[in-house]
Structure 1
Amino acid sequence: MSATNPLSRRQWLVSMAVPALAGASTMVGLEAKGSPRDKGKEDNLAGARIYNIRDYGAKGDGKTLNTKAIQSAIDKCFSDSGGTVLIPAGDFLCGTIELKSNVTLHLSAAAKLLGSPKREDYTAGKGVPSGNGNIVFLYAVKANNISIEGNGTIDGNGLAFYNGKGDNTGPGQHGIGGNFDRPHLGIFYQCTRLNMSDVYCTASAYHCFRILGCKQVHIDGVRIYNRVNRNNDGFHFNNSEYVHLVNSDVQCQDDACALFGSNKFVTINNCTFSTRWSVFRFGGGQSQNIAVTNCLIYDTYGCPIKVSAGRASIENFTFSNIIMRNVTGPIGIGFSGTSENNNQDAQKPYIRNIVFNAIRATVVAKPVDHPDIHFGVSVRPGETNSCITLNAMGAYYLENISFTDVHVQYAGGGTAAQAAKRTIPEVAAEYFGVWDPAPGGPPAYGMYARNVKGLTLHNVRFEYDQADARPAVIFDNVQDASINGLSAKGSEGTELLRFINTKDVLLTAARVLTPAAIFLQIEGAASEGIIVDGGDLRKAKKALNFTDGATATAAVVK
């Protein structure tokens, strides 16, 4: 080494290695060309690359429209056999985006996908059915292995689309004149292996997530805050299978977790919910094998657990370890067995095998406006002084319904006029619709059950804060019932329990907690086979009373 051309130790080692490799260069080159291990270095990362949207021209200034840049990154990722599309820190304004197979959308903690406030920046999802609208912010159709992850935010900018109008899909409205021309936050149609985790989703102009006809859906740790527009739902699952929702928090304005159509094999665990209009809402189709457990529901009106079915086949639902605080309802099942499109050749519909276990609830007198929803929501008369409602009619019955370890604290305040109500409208569309006619509210403060076969109440306790003139429980045309360990507050002006044309009931170990005029009033000539065995009835002035055609042979006290 000369002083004018010094070599470092590393340079010297490299220079010494070159002659040794030169003789073998021809053989190495031939091996590389013929080896399946080196068809191209690019293949080594196929399906595992990261595509930063900034590399495709996206700007996180909250002003630049980035739809094309973000879509280009997704399209490139898809064409390269998948990978991860990275949303880095910044506010990335955009319109409709399509997710594709094998693509993971990762939002870094300081990242925000911000929906454009302009309607012209959105389109209908290609291939998404138009029912309930198909204008959308993020969507995927018939895609496999798609994921949305990370601690960032997806903000629909939904307040920009508020015009005071909803979609008018409520009872009797049929969507006439409804506002459907606004984007949902996300729609996934006929996708398989859909995963969402950790993201914060907020301010949709319409529903937050619609998951339609999908299979193998896993949602973990997703947070939804959706209270800027009407019909601000949380999750909609329609005709989906093998769905698992866990560890998530939903605060919304409309249905928090609706399951419509034929959903099967669904679990919902360890979640919290709050909304104006219902949490778990079911209707239509053939829904089977659904389990909800370890969930907290608070400040929820319009009935937290609600099944409204005309012609449907629903079975094998369990609801366990659920706390409800400040709700109305709290449980409503309505079933008519008929619909406008009645198919005489179809299998007779049913609702059966529904289990409620370990439920604690406090029920308020009527719905209260949420302070963070900027528009008020009217209160229907049937929502006041609400109770658990099991309501079938005609030739149709709810079958095998059980309540075990269920304690409900009601606000009370029900009137004698409500208690005197005997003509109950035969409607099943919404639980509160049954009670709309004056005087509003149900005739019982704890539970009203009509047309039920195989009803079990075990360790059920009904109490109220203010005196209530209504019976605790009314059975109307209930058959094959078992009541064990029922404890309930009574009223000095009316009966604690009222059975109307009800038969084959075993009632054991009941407790009358406060004075009542009558423990059990039996009405109707069809009442029979009622046995009262044991219990503490001291606070009832009279054990049994028979009226409206019922005879003393209908019941016996042991």
Structure 2
Amino acid sequence: MKNEHISRRNWLGVITTAGVGAGLTATGKAFGAGHITATPADEVKVYNINDFGAKGDGKTLNTKAIQSAIDACSLAKGGIVMIPAGEFLSGTLELKSHVTLHLSAGGKLLGSPKREDYTAGKGVPSGNGNIVFLYAVEADNLTIEGNGTIDGNGLAFYNGKGDNTGPGQNGVGGNFDRPHLMIFYRCNNLHLRNAFLTASAYHCVRILHCNQVHIDGIRIYNRVNKNNDGFHFNDCKYVHIVNCDVQCQDDACALFGSNQFVTVTNCSFSTRWSIFRFGGGASQNIAVSNCLIYDTYGCPIKISAGRASIENFTFSNIVMRNVTGPIGIGFSGVSNNNNSASASITKPFIRNLVFNGIRATVLKLPVPHPDIHFDLHTWEGEKNSCITLNAMGDYYLENISFTDVHVKYAGGGTKEQAGKEVPHVAAEYFGVWDKLPGGPPAYGLYARNVKGLTLQNVRFEYEETDARPAIVFDNVQDAAINGFSADGTPGTPLLRFIGSKDVLLSACRVLTPAGPFLQVEGAASADIMIDGGDIRKAGQPVALLKGAEKSSVVVRS
């Protein structure tokens, strides 16, 4: 066994100029880049897995050979483990500190189709299973890079069962005995770049309790098995994701627990379930920008929390094409599980959320992805969905703003849906609306128990006439709606406020004929002002029902 030595500068030159004739031979020697000289202070060791006995024939099991290359690289205090051109079959591999795993453009790490070739990651927590293809525990300065492929061979592990961790299932009878593609636990300075990750048997990339995570140019295609997540984070800090494309079956970018200081930008996503999913812990200081979301059902942006301290999220310049439940936030203030960390939060809250520059088209119900080979249940609450802000009891969502938001809905909602009482359930959005067959009582936005809500330049339209109000406020306090425009339906109020107070509406427009511009309900409603705007297409400015006082609303032209 041997390794080759080239300078770091020339290594980078070899890799980055491969497209113009420079590269590495199968033994790691440079060709097409001229004579290479190395100084001892600047040399990088290259460990070509072929030199350790690996065979890229797609049939030979190379676990021991590849692990030997990784171990030798780690023992030498770091270097580059090169996966050359070829298809290298392997079972579980442990990555280590200061190791760069380089995937050549024609190189593929292919997961074994046999369960006996995998183990649990040593030291990896067992939550959601810890059987894994590639993993690292407490590793520093770890990199996976290159234009090659890591393929989990996940179809070989399909048995028709998921992990049963969905609403109300609690994992009972779930299928956890299958390998994740990657798990990183308590790692620092982790870099993933340019590689193609595909066909995991379970989640694709699990990043747990890590700091300083940099993900750039990763492409994920993960639709061969159930629970095929893309990125899955738990309790991480200083995470930066850019220029990625994710097509998966389950959560595309789940951030559970206490993730902090996270940015996601210039990425595209598609999945059957959610894209950005948050829940529990102290999840704070997260910015998502310049992202494209398409053919996504089960809610692109989903926050479902019991006891949590969630604050300072921004979502800006987001395009959503063909989605259901575009934004869903549910908050109960009560622990959803037995997680002691969650239960230790004494003052749960969700606050300071910004949605800016959103363009969306919302379908009537989910549409099957033609490249997902198994059927997926459609929840009743996914039909006729809307933006949902839903807290309950003594708990409130606080300081939420929507600015420059334009959503076109499928429409088709009925008066029967519009008149239904919403149950006191704070869950994933479809969990709430499952209790109301046919969908929510608003076609655009439903908000309950919200303090400090701002809508600025928001426009809701529909394809098919909808007999539900565009907006329903239920116990919303301290709200401002400015420059709001929406399609209406004759006989249906455009806006419906229930027990809400301290609300200013200014410069609003009714786009198509409607019933009352504003229907106010309940004696608790107070201090509502309508200031200007164009509401001529409404049947009347205000209707008062269920004990609402005339003094609760002031109309100023």
What's the TM-score once normalised by structure 2's chain length? 0.91
Describe the superposition over 1:420-448 as per-residue Cα deviations: whole angstroms up to 9, x where unpaired: 112x1222221111111243300000000
Cα contact 1:417–1:439 (8 A) shared by 2: no
CA RMSD of aligned residues (A): 1.4
SS in structure 2 at match of 1:48? strand
Deviation at 1:549, TM superposition (A): 1.1
Structure 2 equivalent of residue 466 of structure 1: 464
Structure 2 equivalent of residue 386 of structure 1: 385
Structure 2 equivalent of residue 419 of structure 1: 418
1:213-224 correspondence to structure 2 within 5 Å: 213-224=209-220
2:85 to 86, 89, 96: 89
2:425 is matched by which residue type in structure 1? V
Structure 2 equivalent of residue 104 of structure 1: 100
1:268 to 264, 270, 281: 264
1:169-188 correspondence to structure 2 within 5 Å: 169-188=165-184
2:312 to 296, 310, 316: 316
Distance 1:345 1:496 in 2: 42
Structure 2 equivalent of residue 160 of structure 1: 156
1:203 matched to 2:199: yes
Describe the superposition over 1:131-159 as per-residue Cα deviations: whole angstroms up to 9, x where unpaired: 00000000000000000000000000000
Describe the superposition over 1:311-368 as per-residue Cα deviations: whole angstroms up to 9, x where unpaired: 0000000000000000001000000011155988742100000000000000000000
Structure 2 equivalent of residue 402 of structure 1: 401
2:186 is matched by which residue type in structure 1? Q
1:30-45 correspondence to structure 2 within 5 Å: 44=40
Structure 1 equivalent of residue 293 of structure 2: 297
1:57 matched to 2:53: yes
Q: Which runs of 5+ in 2 are unaligned?
A: 1-36
Cα contact 2:307–2:345 (8 A) shared by 1: no
1:532 to 530, 533, 550: 530
Distance 1:487 1:114 in 2: 53
Cα contact 2:509–2:533 (8 A) shared by 1: yes
Deviation at 1:517, TM superposition (A): 1.1
Distance 1:47 1:511 in 2: 67
SS in structure 2 at match of 1:292? strand
Distance 1:438 1:452, change over 3 A: closer
Structure 2 equivalent of residue 355 of structure 1: 354
Distance 1:345 1:398 in 2: 20
1:85 is matched by which residue type in structure 2? V
Structure 2 equivalent of residue 80 of structure 1: 76
1:550 matched to 2:548: yes
Structure 2 equivalent of residue 252 of structure 1: 248
Cα contact 1:47–1:82 (8 A) shared by 2: no
Structure 2 equivalent of residue 483 of structure 1: 481
Cα contact 1:46–1:80 (8 A) shared by 2: no
SS in structure 1 at match of 2:201? coil
Describe the superposition over 1:11-53 as per-residue Cα deviations: whole angstroms up to 9, x where unpaired: xxxxxxxxxxxxxxxxxxxxxxxxxxxxxx9992787100000
Distance 1:129 1:136 in 2: 12
Describe the superposition over 1:512-548 as per-residue Cα deviations: whole angstroms up to 9, x where unpaired: 0000011000001100000000000100011100001
Structure 2 equivalent of residue 15 of structure 1: none
Distance 1:43 1:101, change over 3 A: farther
Cα contact 1:145–1:193 (8 A) shared by 2: yes
Structure 2 equivalent of residue 137 of structure 1: 133
Structure 2 equivalent of residue 434 of structure 1: 432
Distance 2:435 2:207 in 1: 36
Distance 2:384 2:415 in 1: 12
Cα contact 2:188–2:211 (8 A) shared by 1: yes
Structure 2 equivalent of residue 17 of structure 1: none
Structure 2 equivalent of residue 229 of structure 1: 225
SS in structure 2 at match of 1:418? helix
Deviation at 1:511, TM superposition (A): 0.2
Describe the superposition over 1:224-256 as per-residue Cα deviations: whole angstroms up to 9, x where unpaired: 000000000000011000000000000000000
1:375 matched to 2:371: no
Describe the superposition over 1:118-176 as per-residue Cα deviations: whole angstroms up to 9, x where unpaired: 00000000000000000000000000000000000000000000000000000111100
2:552 is matched by which residue type in structure 1? A
SS in structure 1 at match of 2:441? coil
| Greater alpha carbon shift after TM alignment, 492-501 vs 431-440 | 431-440
Distance 1:125 1:348 in 2: 35
1:496 is matched by which residue type in structure 2? L
Distance 1:345 1:179 in 2: 30
Cα contact 2:413–2:467 (8 A) shared by 1: yes
Distance 2:183 2:438 in 1: 38
Q: Which runs of 5+ in 1 are unaligned?
A: 1-40
Distance 2:437 2:123 in 1: 48
Distance 1:493 1:94 in 2: 65
SS in structure 2 at match of 1:179? coil
Cα contact 1:46–1:82 (8 A) shared by 2: no
Distance 1:428 1:408 in 2: 24
1:516 to 492, 514, 517: 514
Distance 1:163 1:344, change over 3 A: closer
Distance 1:385 1:347 in 2: 36
Distance 2:515 2:244 in 1: 47
Deviation at 1:416, TM superposition (A): 1.1
Size of the aligned set, in residue pairs, is: 517
Cα contact 2:69–2:81 (8 A) shared by 1: yes
1:274 is matched by which residue type in structure 2? S
Instruction: Indicate the percent of aligned positions where both proteins have the same amino acid.
Output: 74
Describe the superposition over 1:93-135 as per-residue Cα deviations: whole angstroms up to 9, x where unpaired: 0000000000000000000000000000000000000000000
Structure 2 equivalent of residue 21 of structure 1: none
2:463 is matched by which residue type in structure 1? D
Distance 1:262 1:518 in 2: 44
Of the two, which has the highest radius of gyration?
Answer: 1
Describe the superposition over 1:472-502 as per-residue Cα deviations: whole angstroms up to 9, x where unpaired: 0000000000000000001112100000000
SS in structure 2 at match of 1:495? coil
Distance 1:199 1:415 in 2: 48
2:303 to 302, 307, 321: 307
| Greater alpha carbon shift after TM alignment, 169-178 vs 335-344 | 335-344
1:541 is matched by which residue type in structure 2? G
Distance 2:480 2:229 in 1: 38
Distance 1:486 1:371, change over 3 A: same
Deviation at 1:551, TM superposition (A): 1.1
Distance 1:47 1:466 in 2: 66
Distance 2:374 2:344 in 1: 46
Distance 1:104 1:430 in 2: 40
Cα contact 2:263–2:286 (8 A) shared by 1: yes
What's the TM-score once normalised by structure 1's chain length? 0.91
Distance 2:345 2:172 in 1: 29
Describe the superposition over 1:394-421 as per-residue Cα deviations: whole angstroms up to 9, x where unpaired: 0000000000000000000111111111
1:193 to 182, 189, 193: 189
2:112 to 96, 113, 116: 116
